[in-house]
Structure 1
Amino acid sequence: MSRADRAVTEFISSRPPSRVDTSLRRLTRTADHSVLWFAIAAVLSVRRGAGRKAAMRGIASIALTSFTANALLKPLLPRRRPAAAELPAYRTVADPPSSSSFPSGHAASAAAFATAVVMENRRAAPVVVPLAALVGWSRVHVGVHWTSDVLVGAAIGTGVAKLTNRWWPVRPSDEARARPIDTVPALPQGEGLVIVSNPFSGPPDTDVSEEVRERLPAAHHLVVGDGVKVEDMLEDALAERGQWVRAVGVAGGDGTVATAAAVADRHGLPLVVVPGGTLNHFARDVGVYDTQEAVDATQAGEAVAVDLALVEAHPGRLDDPEDISVTRTRYFINTASIGSYPELVRLREQWQPRYGKWPAFAAALITVLQRSEKISVKIEGRWYKVWFLFVGNGPYYPRGAVPAWRPTLDSGLLDVRWLRADVRFSRLRVVIALILGALGHSRVYHQREVPSLDVELLEPSMLATDGEVVEEAGRYTFRLAEKPIPVYRRDEERWTGRDRPFQG
């Protein structure tokens, strides 16, 4: 140990007894086996959003850090702990650990948890950071570690927590950038708005239709019923209301939003989005977190430009110039995919009535991974065997990894990614690349950002858009609508002083 280590220990030994000794002994015990951090994680997990994500990242960071510090480094770097005689008995713990002193596992776990939590939820910093520092200091104070053990342990924990960002990126903000549009009409109390609410989109105990009706009393309200198509309801209402209609609105999940967006695009109308689904990816990307924010934007006439993507299913092949027919055009607001993901969605929908949404999703995922088959697809004039093809409405981040979010809504580009199945040990290589955060450098992974894409399949394959299986064809054309669609979003610079819902 260094002179500094011994000097700190001698300084602690020279201090008179106080209540601090008892408090630090208790604190260091609560941090044994990371019990303290698990308890804090449980509290953070109570509420969805940044707290729950912070807890998950914190626990994952502790697991990785504990393995690194305790299982790898301690056996490789043996070091004796401070002798019991160097500190007074009232300051030490009854049964000090006998493993290597270097590095401090407690300090490593404390730093890992605190760093991970703050990465996801900065508002927790005033609590977890000082607490982690106290846990680290307590290990020196009770005489089970040298100061350098704690400092190195804290550095390891911090580094491991930050390393999780390579394969589990922290989303910098929920809402994406988009160009403001100042030509949309204000809709006082919903005047001129035809809005459809889908009570089947979200959790069984969530139905925003009554709240929407209350907040927008002047709007023309529609509610989806069994066996009724959202598209037909909106088209009939637009035909009935005629020139009175100035905007189309939707309260529901991403699938319902995509249908309403298609109707709005065809009629050249702006779109009002109220989050009413389970995950509400599109609403969060746009920056509308609850009904009140949608109402605020409609009252003020504030909107942004958002690209709308579509896919055309063709019966013919790319090498048949005479067959240009289109069997069906599907709009999507988030993503489309071909390959194993549509099968996952199909199984989830099949099993959901019996088991519930999330158990059905887990069972479908396990099943698909076991029996996923290669598909032959022609992309950019070249044939590949792939596990899946992903098409995002706009570039998704992080690049070279699993797509998680998009930073902009009006890029004019599609994000195209595919995993090759015609490379030896492709599945194993994908797993290793993901673990190392190096998928973007793997031969198995390909990515392009293009304005349009033609895809031909050797055999017809299922297509999923926004998480729902919608089509099966042998050829698809992906492209963007001719111009972005205006979507109401309030200008936060003008709405300062009003608290936003905590989403994380």
Structure 2
Amino acid sequence: MTTDGSGLLILRNSRSGTAVIRTDPAELFAARLPGARVHELSEGEDLADVVDAAFSEGDPPRVLGVYGGDGSVSRMAGLARRHGVPLLAMPGGTFNHFARSAGLEDVETAVAAYLAGETIEVSAMEVREGDGAAVFALNAASVGAYPELIEERDRRRRRLGKWLGGIVAAWRTMRTAEPLVILRDGRRARVWSVFVGVGTNDPKRVATMQRENLEDPVLDIRIHHARGTRLRAITSLAFGKRTAAVLRAVRLMPEKRDVERLLETDFTMTVRPGPGRPEVWVHDGELEEPRGEEFTLRFTVIPGALTVFAPPPH
């Protein structure tokens, strides 16, 4: 960490948060981090390729920074861990779940933490599908209704945009969602969804997208058993505090007995989608397509996975 940003590589994902009006941080970077190298990802350019190329040069970065949404931040976090350097995460997406959990409500706060040398040690998790390579995740991974909704939204995103595409996807998923079967510890269950979040989350929610604790080396698992309606399956995906509170007040959230909560450091399940259902799972907003109709996911927590610049927790 330097007072002018020397040794800092910042990657900007201009495609993140396209539905949100944001102030361009270019002037802030130039004024407060004049020594930083800022690279804007072009169409089709891979974030990992840019970072790996930078580390192959004679003067590799000492800090990795990213301005983007949760998917970009999660990928950069995995690269920071791989290269053994701290992460500067700056909110530039639509929801910014991780940045908000870290108290980074805006770019100015993130830059101030970097310049002050304020850091926290963040736990994360690895998700492995069968014997495949491990996927790094900062917030959560899920199967069921949420990945189905994301897949529907992404189909319509280019034509309708993220927000309108999301509304149409929610409406369609509300009409067509079906339970899937999971197997764990020799038991079989029909579920609407399973969320595996890193760190403790609000115990009243199903969608564990917003971490309440960045340091706890624990997986907070919510299994929404398929005993309620499709409407409740979709409304259970609300992760905003106010939205969830309103839905709870009008009795649209799942009943407490329908949601099983587990706190583990390691969790394995086999997923069997129903006939004609999407064979997908999602981590930090990024879709993955399994290699077979039935697939097994193993989630493992990583204590102190990486160092992140952030103000001290309150």
Give TM-score, length-normalised by structure 2: 0.84
Partner of 1:282: 98
Partner of 1:390: 195
Deviations 1:366-392 (A, max 9, x none): 111111122111123311111111111
- Kindly tell me: are residues 402 and 300 of structure 1, through their superposed partners in 2, closer, same or farther at Cα, counting changes over 3 Å? closer
What is the CA distance between 1:458 and its match in structure 2?
A: 3.2
Aligned counterparts of 2:48 and 2:309: Cα–Cα separation in 1: 20
What is the CA distance between 1:428 and its match in structure 2?
A: 7.8
The answer as to whether partners of 1:375 and 1:457 remain within 8 angstroms in 2 is yes
SS in 1 for 2:168: helix
What is the CA distance between 1:220 and its match in structure 2?
A: 2.1
The answer as to whether partners of 1:418 and 1:445 remain within 8 angstroms in 2 is yes
Letter in 2 for 1:200: R
- Kindly tell me: are residues 232 and 451 of structure 1, through their superposed partners in 2, closer, same or farther at Cα, counting changes over 3 Å? same
More helix by share: 1
Aligned counterparts of 1:428 and 1:271: Cα–Cα separation in 2: 39
More strand by share: 2
- Kindly tell me: are residues 353 and 427 of structure 1, through their superposed partners in 2, closer, same or farther at Cα, counting changes over 3 Å? closer
Partner of 1:478: 299
The answer as to whether partners of 1:211 and 1:291 remain within 8 angstroms in 2 is no
Partner of 2:144: 339
Report whether the alignment pairs 1:225 with 2:39: no
The answer as to whether partners of 1:400 and 1:439 remain within 8 angstroms in 2 is no
- Kindly tell me: are residues 390 and 454 of structure 1, through their superposed partners in 2, closer, same or farther at Cα, counting changes over 3 Å? same
The answer as to whether partners of 1:271 and 1:488 remain within 8 angstroms in 2 is yes
Partner of 2:176: 371
What is the CA distance between 1:492 and its match in structure 2?
A: 8.2
Report whether the alignment pairs 1:406 with 2:211: yes
SS in 1 for 2:105: coil
Aligned counterparts of 2:216 and 2:313: Cα–Cα separation in 1: 21
When the two chains are superposed, the root-mean-square deviation of aligned CA atoms in Å is 2.7
Aligned counterparts of 1:239 and 1:354: Cα–Cα separation in 2: 39
What is the CA distance between 1:353 and its match in structure 2?
A: 1.3
Partner of 1:458: 272
The answer as to whether partners of 1:199 and 1:208 remain within 8 angstroms in 2 is no
Partner of 2:26: 210
Letter in 2 for 1:279: F
- Kindly tell me: are residues 491 and 386 of structure 1, through their superposed partners in 2, closer, same or farther at Cα, counting changes over 3 Å? closer
- Kindly tell me: are residues 286 and 492 of structure 1, through their superposed partners in 2, closer, same or farther at Cα, counting changes over 3 Å? closer
Aligned counterparts of 1:359 and 1:398: Cα–Cα separation in 2: 30
What is the CA distance between 1:199 and its match in structure 2?
A: 0.9
Letter in 1 for 2:16: S
Partner of 1:445: 259
Match of 2:135 among 301, 317, 330: 330
The answer as to whether partners of 2:77 and 2:87 remain within 8 angstroms in 1 is yes
Give TM-score, length-normalised by structure 1: 0.54
Report the count of equivalent residues. Answer: 293
What is the CA distance between 1:417 and its match in structure 2?
A: 0.9
The answer as to whether partners of 1:332 and 1:465 remain within 8 angstroms in 2 is yes
Deviates more, 1:359-368 or 1:466-475: 466-475
Unaligned runs of 5+ residues in structure 2 are: 237-246
The answer as to whether partners of 1:307 and 1:409 remain within 8 angstroms in 2 is yes
SS in 2 for 1:194: strand
Partner of 1:66: none
Letter in 2 for 1:255: G
What is the CA distance between 1:229 and its match in structure 2?
A: 0.9
SS in 2 for 1:410: coil
Q: Computing the radius of gyration over CA atoms, which structure comes out larger, 1 or 2?
A: 1
Identity of aligned residues (%): 31
Partner of 1:468: 286
Deviations 1:265-298 (A, max 9, x none): 1112110011111221211110112222222222
Partner of 2:6: 191
Deviations 1:208-260 (A, max 9, x none): 45235413111122211100111111111122254x42211111111100010
Report whether the alignment pairs 1:200 with 2:15: yes
Partner of 1:33: none
